Amino acid sequence: MISVAMTTFNGEKYIEKQIESILNQSLSVDEIIICDDGSTDNTIELIKKYNVQIIQNKKNLGYKLNFKKAMEKCKGDYIFLCDQDDIWKKDKVKEMISIMEKNRNIHVLASSFEYIDENGTLIISKNKKGYSNNNLYNKEVRPDDIVQVKTDEFIYGNYFQGCALAIDKKTKDFFVHHFDERIPHDWIISLYGSLDGGMYFLNKPLFEYRIHSQNSIGVSTLNQDASTHVKRAYQFEERYQKARDALYILDILKINCRDYYLRNKVDYLKIESFMNNHIEYLRNKKLFKLFFQNKYAYYKKLKTIRGRIMDLVYCLK
């Protein structure tokens, strides 16, 4: 059985195209569960035209809890996460399910995507050297290849949007019982899927990811003008959040994946110490201490060379 977990909030502009792209898949899904987070436009009326299950929240939960709720209601052996404003390519379900059924060790599979704008026009994105997945994943993966993504990679960042993921029931059940609101739901799902080597990335674009001013989460920098981006870059909140999130991930592993954490405790305590120091150095603008953190591999995994230079410039401002 194949389920789709979708969340909506004031999505009347694009919701019909998204639902129709799911219903027109070459391999049909068995259920579409939609959790609406208090839409005040015509979203609900539009959804009612289709054979889907609608759950209307009595109060606004926010995107993380709303996705958790939608996933809890899914009965499928495989669950696809879905935004309200993208468009699935016709063979998305067929290709991802085929891979997961042939490789039962894959618990979470992410696909790549193409950007589109508000009008559905393709936005060309060129991968930088050493990157893939429209520069979201800091490893170079050849087109159509499938690669394993290891647990420790997720300490330093999240590389795949929720709408790119297909997960098995085992991972879904673990996620809903070990939910943590500090980190985006898709990041935790990928983390959990990776624990026994079960997180994989298929470098093939299987959906169109829409960029517009109302995106609740995702590739936020594509929605910013240059002055806004520069202004944010030199704020403490922007500079320290990667280290803060790394500490959250380590804590989630410690609490919810105890055996795995204990097997790696020595290394994780070193990373934790580095991250705590990094935050302190940024908060107090300790330029030279930040500079000497470059001798640690943790820093290079946490931030690009440009990001590390910007840390130093931040200290000087």
pLDDT, tens only, 277-312? 999 999 999 999 999 999 999 999 999 999 999 999
User: Which residues belong to CATH 3.90.550.10 in the chain?
Assistant: 2-219
Q: Which of 188, 155, 183 is nearest to 270 (CA)?
A: 155
C-alpha of 171 from chain center: 15
Largest CA distance in the chain: 61
Whether residue 31 is predicted with pLDDT greater than 70 in this model: the reply is: yes
Convert the pLDDT of each residue in 203-244 to its tens digit: 999 999 999 765 545 555 555 555 565 667 779 999 999 999
**Averaged over 145-165, what is the pLDDT?**
97
Q: What is the mean pLDDT of the chain?
A: 94
The dihedral through the CA atoms of 92, 211, 184, 181 has a sign that is negative
* DSSP 3-state percent helix, strand, coil across the chain (nearest 5): 45, 20, 35
The first and second tokens of residue 285, run together, are 């603008």
**Averaged over 86-102, what is the pLDDT?**
98
Share of the chain above pLDDT 90, in %: 91
CATH architecture designation of domain 2-219: Alpha-Beta Complex (3.90)
Question: For residue 212, what pLDDT is reported?
Answer: 77
Question: For residue 317, what pLDDT is reported?
Answer: 83
Question: For residue 243, what pLDDT is reported?
Answer: 98
**Averaged over 155-166, what is the pLDDT?**
97
Please give the model's pTM, rounded to 2 decimal places.
0.92
**Averaged over 84-113, what is the pLDDT?**
97
- 2, 97 contact by CB (below 8 A): yes
C-alpha of 13 from chain center: 23
